Structure 1
């Protein structure tokens, strides 16, 4: 418990200090609320609008989870196929990198034109955001398999399936989880971007409404919700990693 607190209190104190400076500056310089609301104003607006905000939060959570699961699955499948078929990896890996050079916000309108304003284009947006870090991390982890153990398993007659299941995949789990944690945080961003383009509910839709009304305080409320969801997604995956990868040696503090 003490070790956990020693890692938590420095960023906790830094955040409190930042909020205190923010509150002090808005008070001393008399900054208008519509330009930069104070943390107290944001907290009050969060409490006052919690009832209306919850429906938007739940819509974004559902979209995020669906897109994250699909994007992670696609990334894992692509990584496994490219790992098992080296020729495909040399041919398609540059295309994977190229897919990340197209801004999601620019691609989303095209998806809406092609697939309409339903759920499918939103899931495609999140999948495009999530699959790449998972695929790259998985391929990197599979590539870094211990060569001594790999040669040993080949010497004792293990086939490719046994080598993959008992050596390559377990050895790659830490790298896979690193990619999944990145994808988990990106999935929230992807969901919000998808909702900006076309939705009738969700945090992205909520932000567009508040922008039109110059409700900066509510915009900050939405940003806080996005940050909280991203941290929650990251924390859940980190706990899952800690439970599944128990053999991973603990890093020295």
Structure 2
């Protein structure tokens, strides 16, 4: 615990300095509807704690969780398929890349038109944003397995499944956790974008509603909550990585 606190101390000091600059600049501007101070945002977060924590945060986390789960299954399946077959790789890899050229803000309203204001329009936005880093990063991890080790197992008569289990999975595991740590905040962003463009609940929806009321602190309060939720989720993934990838050195 002490080692972790000491490692994060520079980041905490830098963050505190940024907050002080923000506080001073927003106080000097004196236009809370445009740029509220951090203190005003925290006050508004406390005032709105019931709708934020009991209604809108669970709605956003539900979208995030479902979208991330689908992205994990889809991304892992595509990565394994592309690694197993050169034909599949040539068929799918360009399509996976092209999918990321679609502007999210352009396709999200279409999802709302197709699937309504329910949860699935937001889930699809989240999946569209998050499956790509999982697919590409895990695929790179599978391809990073050393050819010499694979050939050695083949000389001993190992099957493709045994090679996959004993060589490729351990090699791709650090890549997998790196992909998940990238996908988690992106899934939160995707859920918020979907809610911003069309929803009945969620932190993105609440932030947009506060904007129509010219409530600057109310706009920032759900954003702060989103950031805190994403950081907590990434921290949990980092703990799981430390447990499952014990051979990886710590920086």
Do Structure 1 and Structure 2 share a fold, with TM-score over 0.5? yes
CA drift at 1:230: 1.4
Distance in 2 between residues matched to 1:30 and 1:158, nearest whole Å? 69
For structure 1, the residue ranges without an aligned partner over 5 or more in a row are none
Q: Which residue of 2 aligns with 1:47?
A: 46
Root-mean-square deviation over aligned CA pairs: 1.3
Matches for 1:1-253 after TM superposition, within 5 Å: 1-27=1-27, 29-54=28-53, 55-248=55-248, 250-251=249-250, 253=251
- 8 A Cα contact 2:117 2:200, kept in partner: no
- 8 A Cα contact 1:56 1:201, kept in partner: yes
Q: TM-score, normalised by structure 1?
A: 0.94
CA drift at 1:43: 1.3
CA drift at 1:115: 2.5
- 8 A Cα contact 1:72 1:183, kept in partner: no
Moved over 4 A (4+): none
Offset from partner CA, 1:70-100 (integer Å, 9 cap, x none)? 1111101111111111111012201110100
Offset from partner CA, 1:22-76 (integer Å, 9 cap, x none)? 222233x242211211111111111111112111111111111111111111101
Distance in 2 between residues matched to 1:30 and 1:177, nearest whole Å? 42
- 8 A Cα contact 2:181 2:238, kept in partner: yes
Distance in 2 between residues matched to 1:6 and 1:26, nearest whole Å? 31
Q: TM-score, normalised by structure 2?
A: 0.95
- 8 A Cα contact 2:108 2:121, kept in partner: yes
Distance in 1 between residues matched to 2:239 and 2:2, nearest whole Å? 18
| Matched residue count | 250
Distance in 2 between residues matched to 1:136 and 1:94, nearest whole Å? 11
SS of 1:35's equivalent in the other structure is coil
For structure 2, the residue ranges without an aligned partner over 5 or more in a row are none
